[in-house]
Structure 1
């Protein structure tokens, strides 16, 4: 019975941590969570690390400030909408793949990283195959730039406090100044590009999925090896990404 009681107590503490974030404060450190909930720091630390590992919490670059993670978005999306984003994504992705036979992905943001939560892989021998759970930096991806373009200058500076940015390939944007210039272009055209910035020889086009309040909740993208790109195919990719963005936003959140 003692073991069962302990399990219930731990579950209550996890729920208490979630409820703490409903108070309007975006992030807390270990000490703040422990004091607010009157929990021992040692057991609080263990709970936070487990929630962090499972994706229910995330930390800032310092590794000390905890905030709600991407996993809750996935659960919310599944149950708070009459129509599932994932289900609608796969229906749209099937149509895109049938016409283009290129890889289609669905992603969400987690801090400064991108999380792929859905994908329809091209059947061609040479193809890009992102893995669900893969977490590339936002600034190196087309979908990531969509999220960044809808953030305030203050939010961007919090994510990127220094001028130098992590480079994944020699094409990756390497400075904050360059990134801000690129994001202005993303804002004006509503489309994000990744021109070999994550994987050499692979280009990607992305657009936003908006909720009812016109906030970006996800991004859909199409990836294609450079060797297959033609003017005609590039045009069709743009047509599809715009249609997919509009369709997902309308059907799931409209």
Structure 2
């Protein structure tokens, strides 16, 4: 799994951490505990606690009776709203690439990011123009059984993957992998290949591929996914994989990002 990438030389570390924390809380669908914040951001517990206390003192964050944190109103608005920042930027720069990919392949394309609870939240979805198509619902989806989720897990720490696979792993279809060892193998394969494939594990008759999108520090901040009917996927698999990996690289470039030095290696 990955090591924490170095930050760009023109980035102020303390300010970057504050923005990372605000974006994390802005994406969360529920209040987060200190341990969850520490794990998600990969920073020391003392640093996370100091940032949370400072933001709470300034009225940007609220702490509940169970010592969990969320954005204070009006910043959070409704629970689960996006704060903006990087997620909004990724969606904006990614949409033209997504639309071009849909035009090229004729299939549904999604851009998603990991949120709390190891769920993948859609940022952008452009549906296939074909009358008969696979169009996943634009809702939060579990990471363990989706192409986007496994791709993002491939760039998270071993501890994060352990936490994800310790959750209940429900079979959504007859093909869903629920054995943690089998899922770990798929996550490792995704890291080596640079893309993750799903064949009927999330929805019967639906298949697809996802590739990572990186920010300027080499962090995988989103995944680009093509969703197809299994029959069409089997006929065009290699073309679809090449199209998605190329499009994800284009979104990374538009974001000013770069893959980490060890991308494509286990």
Name the CA distance, whole Å, in 2 between partners of 1:158 and 1:194: 21
Match of 1:197 in 2: 201
Match of 2:141 in 1: 136
Relative contact order, CA 8 A, sep 6+: which one is greater?
2
Q: Which runs of 5+ in 2 are unaligned?
A: 1-21, 26-33, 258-266
**Displacement, 1:146?**
0.7
Q: Which digits, 9 at most, give the CA deviation of each residue in 1:178-233, with x for residues without a partner?
A: 111111111110111111111100101000000111110000010110122354x2
Name the CA distance, whole Å, in 1 between partners of 2:197 and 2:223: 12
Match of 1:180 in 2: 184
Are 1:206 and 2:210 counterparts? yes
User: TM-score, length-normalised on structure 1?
Assistant: 0.70
Match of 2:124 in 1: 118
1:155 counterpart SS class? helix
Please say if residues 116 and 131 of structure 1, whose CA atoms lie closer than 8 Å, have aligned partners that are also in contact. no
Match of 1:4 in 2: none
Q: 1:242 aligns with which of 245, 252, 259?
A: 245
Q: 1:109 to 1:40 in 2, by over 3 A?
A: closer
Q: Which runs of 5+ in 1 are unaligned?
A: 1-14, 57-70, 79-83
Please say if residues 193 and 205 of structure 1, whose CA atoms lie closer than 8 Å, have aligned partners that are also in contact. yes
Q: 1:104 aligns with which of 109, 117, 125?
A: 109
2:166 counterpart SS class? coil
Are 1:146 and 2:151 counterparts? yes
**Displacement, 1:27?**
7.4
User: TM-score, length-normalised on structure 2?
Assistant: 0.67
Over alpha carbons, which structure has the higher Rg? 1
**Displacement, 1:253?**
2.4
Name the CA distance, whole Å, in 1 between partners of 2:197 and 2:247: 16
**Displacement, 1:245?**
1.2
What does 1:19-98 correspond to in 2, within 5 Å? 25=45, 51=76, 54-55=79-80, 71-72=82-83, 74-78=84-88, 84-98=89-103
The alignment yields a C-alpha RMSD, in angstroms, of: 3.3
**Displacement, 1:173?**
1.2
- Name the count of aligned residue pairs: 208
Compare the two structures and name the one with the higher helix fraction. 1
Please say if residues 116 and 130 of structure 1, whose CA atoms lie closer than 8 Å, have aligned partners that are also in contact. no
Are 1:253 and 2:256 counterparts? yes
